[in-house]
Amino acid sequence: MSTLIHPNDALVNEEPPLPLIPVCEHFAGNRHTLLKAFAIQAEYGPVFDITCDCEDGAATGTEISHANMIVELLNSEYNIHKMAGVRIHGFNEPVWKQEVDILLSGARDLIRYITLPKAQDATQVEMMLEYIQLASQKYSLQPSLPIHVLIETHGALGEVNKIAMMEPVEVLDFGIMDYISAHQGVITDEAMRSPLQFEHALIARAKTDIVRAAISSGCVASHNVSLAIKDYQQTYDDAHRARTQFGFLRMWSVHPVQIKAIIDAMSPNPDQLQLASEVLLSAQQYNWAPIQLNGKLYDKASYRYYWQQIQQAYLAGLPLGKPVQQQFFSQNNCTP
């Protein structure tokens, strides 16, 4: 029997491939909420990231001790899945360099990514990246630690394409509250919430620009938090609209209720997975040539789309059929 070709080998994409990362990023900023987040991650499995927050988590004057606390937790038995990043202070807060040194020297490869807030332009991002790269070399760490950049100022949005093209940048995050604040009253605070956060022309334009820049440069766009922090349905609706209307592939959570809502809303649904599974398994049998299935034509462009769906479902811990598991995700997934 001939060897079957795995989709990773058959479905070459001319566009920059998007990072395969969880759809949900949960923010926590103190010991109590971080321990709770790690406990939920242990229960749910490696289906969402935890962002340990130095910027908003540390009270003024406690930044150093706060960073050391995060290092302690990242090195603890609570960090089972090793799926946590950190948000440091912004460029204009001198403590950010100390945070980088404390975190990289103490937590080392346990840090999955670093989030950079408050950038005023691409130059500030470049300067922070340079320092992080030098620190990584100093502590003998991987040179290309993934970087997430918050787009929340006029300057950063104006240079979002340049920021997205920087090699270590993996995610562009939209910071809606700071972005609205930067408009000095031109946008009302109602636009921080639904439905106006999706309908106000300036907000919709910003979201569209961020997603377009991210996709064209092989980054993931991450949507701002839903301020209905304890409301599963509103969070679900916000995440679903962000995903389907704007193309965001990831979203922030700030409350445990929001984690499942975001995963449920942004992950492929069972009907999509069933179709994707049928198409890919059939296509593999025909060496990824065009096929007809139930009277419809499918080719490599559609195969790439469905393969992305299957991979996202796998990351989200969604149940996949046994043939899909065996053919695409087992150790011997390239042979029948």
The DSSP annotation for 112-129 comes to: --EEE----SHHHHHHHH
**128 and 91 Cβ atoms separated by less than 8 Å:** yes
> What is the domain partition of the chain in residue ranges?
7-13+269-329, 24-266
Residue count of the chain, please give it. Answer: 336
DSSP letters, 16-37, are PPPP---SEEEEE-SHHHHHHH
CATH number for 24-266 (one of 1.10.10.10, 3.40.50.720, 3.20.20.60, 3.30.420.40): it is 3.20.20.60
**CA–CA separation, 152 and 122 (whole Å):** 12
pLDDT in tens, the chain (336 residues): 468 999 999 998 778 889 999 999 999 999 999 999 999 999 999 999 999 999 999 999 999 999 999 999 999 999 999 999 999 999 999 999 999 999 999 999 999 999 999 999 999 999 999 999 999 999 999 778 999 999 999 999 999 999 999 999 999 999 999 999 999 999 999 999 999 999 999 999 999 999 999 999 999 999 999 999 999 999 999 999 999 999 999 999 999 999 999 999 999 888 899 999 999 999 999 999 999 999 999 999 999 999 999 999 998 888 898 999 999 998 555 333
pTM: 0.91
